Amino acid sequence: MQKPLLITGGGRGIGAATARLAASRGYAICINYRENVDAASHLAGEIRAAGGEALIVQADVGVERDVLRLFDTVDREMGPLAGLVNNAGILETQMRVEAMDAPRLQRVFATNVIGAFLCAREAVKRMSTRHGGAGGAIVNVSSGASRLGSPGEYVDYAASKGALDTMTIGLSREVAEEGIRVNAVRAGFIYTDIHASGGEPERVERVKVMVPMKRGGQASEVAAAIVWLLSDEASYTTGAFIDVTGGK
C-alpha cells in the first residue's frame, strides 16, 4: 500500500520535483496548491501516467480553515498520513527593510511561518503515537537565506525561514519519542519561478558567482535530500539540516 505524503505548494518548483521523486519511491502524493490548478493537475496526471497515485487539493496554508479542510481531505481520500513536506513559501518584490510595510510582512509570515506551524500541528495530531498514530516524518523546506539574511532583497523572507529552522529544532525534540522525525532542507539558489515573484526571474544567473560550485541548483537536487529525510534510510535522523546550497 502506498504511503500518503502531503506536499504543500506542491504544484511547481521544488514541491513538484519532490512529488515526482516521492511517487517513484512508493508514496501516494497529495499535491496542495493555492492558485495554479493547471500546474497541479498536470503534475498529478504525470504521476498517474507513471503508475502512481496523486490527489490535488486547493488550500491557502496561511488560512487555518483551509488547512483543516486540506487535512480532512487527505484523511478521507488517502488514509493515514505518513509524511508532510512543508514546502509552500512566498517572497515579495526585492526591497530594503525600511521600505517594507506591515501587510507585506503579514503575507510572508502567514504563509512561510504560520502555514508551516498549522500544517505541522495537523500532521502531528495524525502521526503521533501519543494520539494513536503510527509515526511519520516532517520535512521543512527552508533556505540558505536563513543563515545569510538576504540583505537588500528579502530580509523578511530570510527571517521567516529562520523561524522555520527554529521550529524544526523545537518540534523535532517535542515529538521525538512519539514516532515522528522532523528535519529541514535549506535550499540555495535554485532554478525555480519563485524568483520572478521578487521581480528578477534571472536572479540565479546573477548570484551564482557567489556560490563555491559556481552554479545554481536544480529542484531535483533539493528533492533528493527531502525524499531521503522522509525515508527509512534516515530513521535515526531528526532535528537535522541538509544544506543544498552548492557550498554557500
Would you please indicate which residues are annotated as catalytic (active-site) residues? Answer: 157
Closest CA to 159 of 102, 112, 212: 112
For residues 140 and 184, is the Cβ–Cβ distance under 8 A? yes
Give the position of cell 521567516. 160
Q: Which three cell numbers stand for residue 189?
A: 539558489
**CA dist list (Å): 246 to 98, 145, 180, 209:** 31, 13, 29, 11
**CA dist list (Å): 224 to 93, 109, 154, 211, 219:** 29, 27, 26, 20, 9
Q: Reduced to 3 states, what is the DSSP secondary structure of residue 236?
A: coil
Four-residue CA torsion sign, 116, 183, 155, 192: negative
For residues 174 and 138, is the Cβ–Cβ distance under 8 A? no
- DSSP conformational letter for 2: P
